[in-house]
Structure 1
Amino acid sequence: MTYESCKFHKGIFINLMKHFSKSSLHDKVFHAFFSIQSIVREKPSPKAITTYLNLLLDSNRVDLARTLLLYCKRNLTYKPNICVFNILVKYHCKNGDLDSAFDVVKEMRSSEFSYPNLVTYSTLMDGLCQNGRLKEAFELFEEMVSRDQLVPDPLTYNVFINGFCRRGKPDSARNVIEFMKNNGCRPNVFNYSTLVNGLCKVGKLQDAKGVLDEMKSSGLKPDDTVTYTTLINFFCRNGQIGEAMELLEEIKENECPTDTVTFNVILGGLCRDGRFEEALDMLEKLPHQGVYLNKGSYMIVLNSLTQKCELHKAKKLLGLMLSRGVWPYYATSNELLVHLCKAGMADDAAVALFDLVEIGFLPGLDSWELLIGLICRDRKLLYVFKLLDELVITNT
């Protein structure tokens, strides 16, 4: 076998470094990086260096990051490129050390290999906005355009849209979108989604829906459910379940993929509005329509039914859950049994307990005492003996 036939590709080591870092195996990341030159027989590529630098900073290993850059400069004659500088700027901004971030930019300007780009400026402006320094962020924006003659893109503008929304000023964020249009930059889905979220947070739901309509009229449509789910969530919490259901239908019409989160929000809204039949109908039908429901989907409705003493519906839902292999939480099961006992529904309580015991459930002392007492008062002692037998068998 020749050397060429078993040659390792550098990409293997980059993937190894990422996987080791996710598992917090930092020593193995180190060894993977420094194995590249000896095994691949080539110097680590700029991509390998920036990957390792990013992983070190994400793990807050600043000392090792400095050592890495010094090693690359001395031993690999590597000159930091714009990716390296931007990684450092991002790290300092993320940690609120804006002075160090601007120092990196100064060093970048003095370098013959790199110069600030849109990513650099966007990261700096976002750092300023997150620290409430919007005026300085706008001054930096003007410097970017006038000094470096960079043309802002939707991502750059979104820094300001998000900054204003974060501070509860969606009207100012709206002005940023108008400014974009006037300067020949077409807002994208991300810009509109950020504004929708900002308007929802201050309770301007109709304005948010108007922005969604504006987005669609401009030829854009959400390519995921995040924008819709945000608006649906706020409509549900505001008691406007009708509007939320309309948006759900709109999602289906636009063939936008829905996820469990969206339906869980709707189920919660229906329950808060007392529309339990619709919630139960959704739980019954959605899996047959290819929609994945998790345990949380069922528990949202079961908890609401139990707390509102809709016990016949709760008992029915419990049966559906068990038939689909979804086990309720212990606290909810116990609470349901207590409510059934207090409502005098001995037969339903006993049947529910039998079903739960089969999956390993042991009732709490409060529900057990209530159930046995209720059955004894109704002179249904056979039930008592069956329950005792069932519990003894379960515990042996």
Structure 2
Amino acid sequence: MLNPHKALKFPSLLRRALSLSFSTQTPTTAHHYDDLINAAGRSGDFSAVRRLLTNRWRDGFFNTKFTFNFITSDLAALEETLQTLKSLARGFAKKGAYDSLIARLSKLDHTRHALRVAKIMAAENVGINAVSFHPILNYVSRKNADEAMGVLEMMREIKVWPDVTSYNYVLTAYCCDGKLEEAVKLVDEMDENGVVYDSRTYDALVLGACKVKRVDGGLVLLRRMVDEGVPALYSTHIHVINELLKMGYYGQAVEFVLIYAGRDKAMDHECFGVLARRLISLKRFDDAKLVLEEMRSRGLEIGGKLSEAVEIWDGNLGTN
């Protein structure tokens, strides 16, 4: 009888068994493929990783953010993974694998290695584009706007032209820091390159205006969004509400919400609710009462955090 403890001394036998299991299973979902790829990667069976990466595309399953979870912070499996990806036939399977690997490395905060993979993609001419850089820009922009700008510069060097999402990551980072001069330069570049603004572009610009207490500029941008038919994000309105309240313009904050009310019930619920909670926390009870009454008249539910705030408030407003 085979001693199970003794069997662990024969890794080649175990590897062959694992390889056999990979080759005989028929994955039916992207999640199933991810599980098999990660099991193969952890066991060191990169021939199975290669086969699975190829077959998943033939079967119509895209890679996901979990495809390369076998790569951990120590990057022990990175070099073999890169060699495996280089051996893939040029096409969607290869590009998709590289893009997923970049996403994994970005999430692990290994920006330098993610950029290295991007350069490999460019050198191999396997379809690198702005989307390949989105995960890098996403994580880098949260930490350092100037470093994110450096990623944009690298994209240009390898002839990958930033799209609106690429610009938005960096623009938001600058606006969060209140660096409007840098933000304006970036917007000028977008205009020169014919990049059309979207909701997140305007959201970043409104945030930047509010950060430097130019809420009037934020209002102008909101008006431009309406004129151009660009839908506003919830956060775009919240930036203005919060800044008006910080500046002590309580009545103007109420007026702002009322002016934009009636277009989108979900937006109304968010804006009225945030405004009422903030007014209660600021002990502006008369203004809060006005907002709550307006919510009732519009059939907006007073629930969740707002309901908790009302209960704490000793004004005994009730729900009639």
TM-score past 0.5 threshold:
yes
Pick the aligned partner of 2:179 from 197, 204, 219: 204
Contact kept in structure 1, 2:130 and 2:166, CA below 8 Å:
yes
The answer to whether residue 282 in structure 2 is matched with residue 305 in structure 1 is no
The answer to whether residue 248 in structure 2 is matched with residue 271 in structure 1 is no
Q: How many correspondences in the alignment?
A: 279
C-alpha distance after superposition, 1:6-47 (max 9, x if no partner): xxxxxxxxxxxxxxxxxxxxxxxxxxxxxxxxxxxxxxxxxx
The answer to whether residue 55 in structure 2 is matched with residue 55 in structure 1 is no
For 1:295 and 1:272, the matched residues in 2 are separated by 21
Shift of 1:118: 2.8
Shift of 1:171: 2.4
Residues 192 and 267 of structure 1: CA distance in aligned 2, closer, same or farther (over 3 Å):
same
Match of 1:134 in 2: 111
For 1:178 and 1:193, the matched residues in 2 are separated by 15
Residues 95 and 63 of structure 1: CA distance in aligned 2, closer, same or farther (over 3 Å):
closer
Q: Say which SS state the counterpart of residue 67 (structure 2) adopts.
A: helix
Contact kept in structure 1, 2:175 and 2:183, CA below 8 Å:
yes
Residues 320 and 214 of structure 1: CA distance in aligned 2, closer, same or farther (over 3 Å):
same
Pick the aligned partner of 1:244 from 218, 227, 232: 218
Pick the aligned partner of 1:96 from 57, 62, 72: 72
1:271 alignment partner AA: L
For 1:139 and 1:63, the matched residues in 2 are separated by 22
Q: Decide which structure has the larger Cα Rg and report it.
A: 1
Contact kept in structure 1, 2:57 and 2:93, CA below 8 Å:
no
Shift of 1:258: 2.0
Shift of 1:277: 2.1
For 1:90 and 1:63, the matched residues in 2 are separated by 10
Q: Say which SS state the counterpart of residue 200 (structure 1) adopts.
A: helix
Match of 2:132 in 1: 156
Pick the aligned partner of 1:321 from 284, 290, 295: 295
Contact kept in structure 2, 1:189 and 1:220, CA below 8 Å:
yes
Q: How does 1:33-112 map to 2 (within 5 A)?
A: 52-56=28-32, 62=36, 80-81=54-55, 83=57, 87=63, 90-93=66-69, 96=72, 98-100=75-77, 103-104=80-81, 106-107=83-84
- The normalised TM-score by structure 1 is 0.57
The answer to whether residue 254 in structure 2 is matched with residue 280 in structure 1 is yes
For 2:157 and 2:89, the matched residues in 1 are separated by 35
Contact kept in structure 2, 1:260 and 1:294, CA below 8 Å:
no
Contact kept in structure 2, 1:259 and 1:291, CA below 8 Å:
no
Shift of 1:100: 4.4
**Unmatched 5+ stretches in structure 1:** 1-48, 67-77, 341-348, 359-396
Residues 234 and 121 of structure 1: CA distance in aligned 2, closer, same or farther (over 3 Å):
same
For 2:278 and 2:120, the matched residues in 1 are separated by 55
C-alpha distance after superposition, 1:95-136 (max 9, x if no partner): 637544654554455567989633322332333344343333
For 2:284 and 2:92, the matched residues in 1 are separated by 66
Shift of 1:221: 1.7
Contact kept in structure 2, 1:109 and 1:115, CA below 8 Å:
no
Q: Say which SS state the counterpart of residue 257 (structure 1) adopts.
A: coil
Match of 2:197 in 1: 222
Match of 1:233 in 2: 207
Match of 1:296 in 2: 270
Shift of 1:297: 1.9
For 1:301 and 1:184, the matched residues in 2 are separated by 46
Shift of 1:327: 4.4
Contact kept in structure 1, 2:54 and 2:93, CA below 8 Å:
no
Shift of 1:255: 1.8
For 1:176 and 1:64, the matched residues in 2 are separated by 29
Contact kept in structure 2, 1:56 and 1:62, CA below 8 Å:
yes
1:306 alignment partner AA: I
RMSD (Å) for aligned C-alpha atoms: 3.9
Contact kept in structure 2, 1:81 and 1:113, CA below 8 Å:
no
The answer to whether residue 165 in structure 2 is matched with residue 175 in structure 1 is no
Between 276-285 and 231-240, report the one with greater CA deviation. 231-240
1:133 alignment partner AA: H
Greater RCO (CA < 8 Å, at least 6 residues apart):
2
Q: Say which SS state the counterpart of residue 63 (structure 2) adopts.
A: helix
For 2:308 and 2:92, the matched residues in 1 are separated by 60
For 1:334 and 1:138, the matched residues in 2 are separated by 52
Q: Say which SS state the counterpart of residue 96 (structure 1) adopts.
A: coil
For 2:107 and 2:138, the matched residues in 1 are separated by 9
For 1:334 and 1:237, the matched residues in 2 are separated by 32
Q: How does 1:23-42 map to 2 (within 5 A)?
A: none
Match of 1:119 in 2: 96
C-alpha distance after superposition, 1:372-393 (max 9, x if no partner): xxxxxxxxxxxxxxxxxxxxxx
For 2:125 and 2:262, the matched residues in 1 are separated by 56
Residues 87 and 105 of structure 1: CA distance in aligned 2, closer, same or farther (over 3 Å):
farther
